A and B are shown apart, each in its own frame.
Chain A
């Protein structure tokens, strides 16, 4: 789960991680009032959406007067922001963050992420702040410093020293400031079950103070149950509505841009099904994992979500029944086609426990549009053919 910059900065404040002062607003009037309260003389008007690259997309701008704040707030609020991290349609800006302009001497990069290789949190830093870090990693990997922190010992002095010497910070007060900054950031990461915290840029002011000018945070969904304050920051309007709806029913859904709707049990087989459709010359319209215990209700919901997509020309239901018996799933599919108006061909492949009985049930049900696939390859081929014929 991701949060907005203004929320990340609220969390920074709790940990005494320095940030410029700012106020989140949802209207132009409130933006001007906020700017007055902050005092100026320079403000930054920032679009609040869950995506990086806002500056380049025109969602972050500098104002030198209250009139300019008003003008920019007017311009950015309600705009659809397209960045390299959004879809081509972009994201609607519904919130702004009005922030004090900072006295910037240097721009750095600092993040904490989970390193899957070492299975530890990894502190990453670079002197190339304000740039897309993936580009830096690609072109000048030597400019990225990585410091893994073993969570069983936590952040130690040596971690801090590796960081500041790696960044080439020589002033002793600045060294101390940076080490404290990183230590707090690590503590925040661990205590809140964060998955990723990125500050880009982290700026050094003329006084040698380090400030988090930006803040991006993502959290481990599996830990939200014990992080109620974080969970409360969730902004559903930033997420795909169909994915959110699917999740309510225990379905894991991701929309794609193809023509064949997929309904599969298990994430691996669901991806494998998409790959097989692609291999057979078709295009998958979605990823959909109905979970281990597919039943009539979840299957019906799956049909409903898949059919919302107007590009869908056929649906491939691919279930490998393990503990769940296929005959029960077959009945579930029949029930589901009664509840939902399924107006495209549905190819069903059921394998595993009681698969022959399931095939019989489906064949005897005499449902128009329902085609039985014998195995994964056969089912996918029939789905591709059906989509082309439709």
Chain B
């Protein structure tokens, strides 16, 4: 088992024939993901990477029955692409693109919600169910199958965390990169209950960072609904106030959104909080044995 995606998930790629889209779509196909086609306006009818290209998402969905779209279009077109996917009946849009205007994401997310479409990202590494389905840009080979679910705002910390889990002798059910923008799609509070319900997931690793209060909300939910052990790391304990730390959403505004505040809330909710990402593997081992 896993959450959200598995070996049967049919995926299309928006921005399929572009440089990034092509490169990563090919990597996903090699991993075993069922990429069933892609969308690039005015290239409908062509074949790319052995898969059909469509002019619109609507055409692609009708022909292929895809339920997930992986979005690689340039930042200025992300909002449009997400809304097109929602309108066409896609169930989950995985938005990889970095640098989408915040206003566009407000509109697109509201529209997606109205159509019952889930979104992931933007500015995220994607989602991977180990040894079944990779929808994103993560290095597939490090994700060994196992019993740990992982949720992270950061791409490289997803890899770091996964690597440690594997080194510690465990593996991953599904790893989800939720992105570090101010407005993101699926987050801890939607994903934690999915992992809680997944019979194969026995432990959850949650990686957060400074800015916003998603981790605080997660702490509340964990306290009330999550029975499985949770290991957490919050990046940015040493970040200065008022500075954006790489991710657009990673900023401590005034006294809000600090790592200390989030770590305290998670600890109070019974989460095993580590002060360095180097301790994630050890902590997972501790809670699982």
| Interface positions of A (Cβ within 8 A of B) | 85, 114, 116-117, 119-121, 134, 138, 150-152, 190, 193, 195, 220-223, 225-226, 252, 254, 256, 264-272, 274-280, 284, 287, 289, 292, 320-323, 351-353, 375-377, 380
Contact = CB atoms under 8 A, between A and B. Distances in A.
A323 B137 contact: yes
Interface string B154-179: 11110110010000000000000000
State which size class the interface on B falls in: 35 or more
Contact of B109 (A119, A220, A320, A377): A119
Interface string B122-156: 00010000000000011101100000000011111
B247 interface: yes
B235 interface: yes
B232 to A, nearest CB: 12
A191 B22 CA distance: 34
A275 B236 contact: yes
Contacts of B182: 114, 116
Nearest to A278: B238
B107 A353 contact: no
A276 B152 contact: no
Contacts of B277: 269, 272, 275-276, 376
Could you say which of B157, B240, B243, B255 has the most chain A C-beta atoms within 10 Å of its C-beta?
B157
A222 B139 contact: no
B6 to A, nearest CB: 22
Nearest to B208: A268
By secondary structure, the A interface counts as mixed
Contacts of A152: 107, 110-111
A267 B238 contact: no
By secondary structure, the B interface counts as loop
30 contacts: A85-B242, A114-B182, A114-B183, A116-B182, A119-B110, A119-B183, A193-B103, A222-B99, A223-B103, A225-B75, A252-B245, A256-B240, A265-B156, A266-B246, A267-B209, A267-B247, A268-B153, A269-B157, A271-B235, A271-B236, A275-B238, A275-B259, A279-B275, A289-B246, A292-B155, A320-B156, A322-B138, A323-B139, A352-B142, A375-B278
A376 B160 contact: yes
Given A222-B100, A223-B102, A272-B157, A352 B139 contact: yes
Could you say which of B76, B245, B275 has the most chain A C-beta atoms within 10 Å of its C-beta?
B245
Contacts of A117: 212-213
B266 to A, nearest CB: 15
Nearest to A226: B76
Interface string B247-289: 1111000110001000000000000000111110000000000
Nearest to A258: B238
A289 to B, nearest CB: 4
Could you say which of B24, B160, B240 has the most chain A C-beta atoms within 10 Å of its C-beta?
B160
Could you say which of A225, A226, A275, A277 has the most chain B C-beta atoms within 10 Å of its C-beta?
A275
Contacts of B247: 267-268
B240 A254 contact: yes
Contacts of A353: 139, 141
A85 to B, nearest CB: 8
A269 B102 contact: no
B233 interface: yes
A375 B164 CA distance: 10
A271 B139 contact: no
A245 to B, nearest CB: 16
A80 to B, nearest CB: 19
B139 A321 contact: yes
A355 B20 CA distance: 24
Interface in B174-198: 180, 182-183
Contacts of B246: 252, 266-268, 270-271, 287, 289
B237 interface: yes
A279 B102 CA distance: 34
Given A353-B139, A376-B276, A377-B278, 4 more contacts: A151-B110, A275-B259, A352-B163, A376-B160
A79 to B, nearest CB: 23
B71 interface: no
Nearest to A119: B183
Interface string B83-109: 000000000000000011111001101
- List 3 A-B pairs, minimum CB-CB distance, nearest first: A268-B154, A267-B246, A266-B156
A150 B139 CA distance: 38
Contacts of B279: 377
